[in-house]
Amino acid sequence: MGFSVIIPARYASTRFPGKPLADLQGKPMVQHVYERACESEADRVLIATDDERIAEVAQQFGAEVCMTSSDHPSGTDRLQQVVSDLGYYADDIVVNVQGDEPLVPARIINQVAHNLIAEPEASISTLSEPINDIESLLNPNVVKVVNDTRGMALYFSRAPIPWPRNSFSAEQGQSVMPEGYSWQRHIGIYAYRVKLLNDFVKWPPAPIEETECLEQLRAMWNGARIHVAEADEQPPAGVDTPEDLERLRAFLEQGS
């Protein structure tokens, strides 16, 4: 069974307007993402955008582009429009690769797709990586995930879950990474069954989703199973701000 990759790319980012077109080693950032996705085993790679400037640039470097509405409240809604407009079947699988992940390894694109193919009870699959420092464990911008023995997610949270009661006692404080458990940071790459996308856009936002500001909790609230596996390769950090882009440029220059 094959899969497609869809790369949502918005121009109107609050923190970094025009981010997909930002120059990175002589190419727009979204082109780097597209080229990494094309290195995967995907049968089809598309860029989904609501902006003609991004569409024009993407077509110039040979990408297939799907224009979407500018009114979508989330990237998941944008994905659903693409699969609907292109007539995807309910059991088709698509991988969402963010347009601000220029160094995303093809290996983990394949991994998340194959994991979903292998888990018929799951509607979504995603990845994680170990948390090794106390700062990340306590950082609400680092999303934590807990799964069961089969790899099915139990919960995603911005809080340190599970809470290490004995280690974080009043006497010991919260200054040292606790032992005895492998905390996991969620990596924001997803594979979806198209049926889940079609259902998702019909569901209202869930209370836990609005509380945590985590969209995947809407799927869990409505009974969808999410498979989680530790990533075969840890992806480099994405680009959220101009400062992130400068750090990535410096990193690439050091490696060249």
Beta bridge partners of 46: 6, 64
Q: What is the pLDDT of residue 251?
A: 82
User: What phi, psi does 48 have (nearest 5°)?
Assistant: -105, 120
Half-sphere exposure of 245 (CA within 13 A, CB side): 20
Q: 152 or 76: whose pLDDT is higher?
A: 152
pLDDT digits (tens, 9 = 90+) for 25-58: 899 999 999 999 999 999 999 999 999 999 999 9
pLDDT digits (tens, 9 = 90+) for 10-24: 887 777 888 999 999
Beta bridge partners of 191: 95, 125
| Other beta carbons less than 10 A from residue 56's beta carbon | 12
Tell me the average pLDDT across 226-242: 90
Q: What is the pLDDT of residue 154?
A: 98
Q: What is the pLDDT of residue 2?
A: 95
Tell me the average pLDDT across 107-131: 97
The CA angle 238-221-80, to the nearest 5 degrees, is: 55
pLDDT digits (tens, 9 = 90+) for 126-174: 999 999 999 999 999 999 999 999 999 999 999 999 999 888 875 566 7
Q: What is the pLDDT of residue 242?
A: 87
Distance spanning both ends of the chain, measured CA to CA = 37
What is residue 169's three-state secondary structure?
coil
Mean pLDDT for all residues in the chain: 92
Q: What is the pLDDT of residue 177?
A: 85
Specify the pTM.
0.93
Tell me the average pLDDT across 86-108: 95
**Cβ-contact 11, 28 below 8 angstroms:** no
Domains, the chain, ordered by start: 4-127+185-238 (3.90.550.10)
